[in-house]
Structure 1
Amino acid sequence: MIEREIRPFATARKAWLFSDSVPGADASAVIYSLMLTCRACNVEPYAWLRHVLTELPKRQAGDDVTDLLPFNHANR
């Protein structure tokens, strides 16, 4: 069970070796972290991502977006 839980980290670590830039690697890590947060909160990642990408354009720059995080989406 533990091996199955850490496998995604090992896979991602190998993928990050091929990032062309530090900002690119940081962006990959953020997306990966959000997807794993969805999994931990029992939120379907694709549905959550669709929701976030339709809600973000409706927001003004600087608006609070914490309500869009996966653990808040799980409470809907």
Structure 2
Amino acid sequence: MPKSALGKALHYLAGQWERLTRFLEDGLIPLDNNPEENAIRPFVVGRKNWLFS
């Protein structure tokens, strides 16, 4: 692999390939984590508001 930024990116991609494609092998793994993000959103917003109340 070349030492260029593209070469480093491709080397990183090759090392992460199994994790990046795992959802293709298991149909039960969701493609995104939107439900989880929406579940914790009130706590993240509240953390900013509750700090000084």
- Whether the TM-score (by the shorter chain) exceeds 0.5 is no
**Structure 1 length-normalised TM:** 0.26
Structure 1 or 2, whichever has the larger Rg, is 2
Higher relative contact order (CA 8 A, sep 6+): 1
TM-score after normalising by structure 2 = 0.32
